[in-house]
Amino acid sequence: MKNIELVKQFELGKIPQTSKNKDAAKIFDGTRRQMLEVILRGGEVLSKHIAKEPITVFCLAGKGTFRAGKDLQEEQKLTAGTLITLEAEIEHEVVAESEIHILVTKFKAA
């Protein structure tokens, strides 16, 4: 049995270039957690939504704003190295200033 699995090697501080304003890819889907890579460009917004499970958001590169709570009244600026957590069932969104590259981890129930 293999205990360590290399999921992806990120180039921290760099945002991969494509022609899309929004890229999202599931990079890991295990029994207890799921990891998603999200890239927003050109001031793109990851629109308001709710995660059924607790999440973490780690900013790999770029700048943006994470908003959460009722009417999205709470804000946290995202810059490379920022790590935030959010409980389940909380409305949230991400707004890129120009572009942002984040890693989202969803923690699934057993």
Q: Structural domains in the chain?
A: 22-107 (2.60.120.10)
Q: Are 7 and 28 in contact (CB under 8 A)?
A: yes
1 pLDDT above the threshold of 80: no
pLDDT at position 109 is: 87
Q: Which helix (H) or strand (E) holds 104?
A: strand 91-107
86: left (phi over 0), alpha (psi -120 to 50) or beta: beta
pLDDT, tens only, 64-94: 999 999 999 999 999 999 999 999 999 999 9
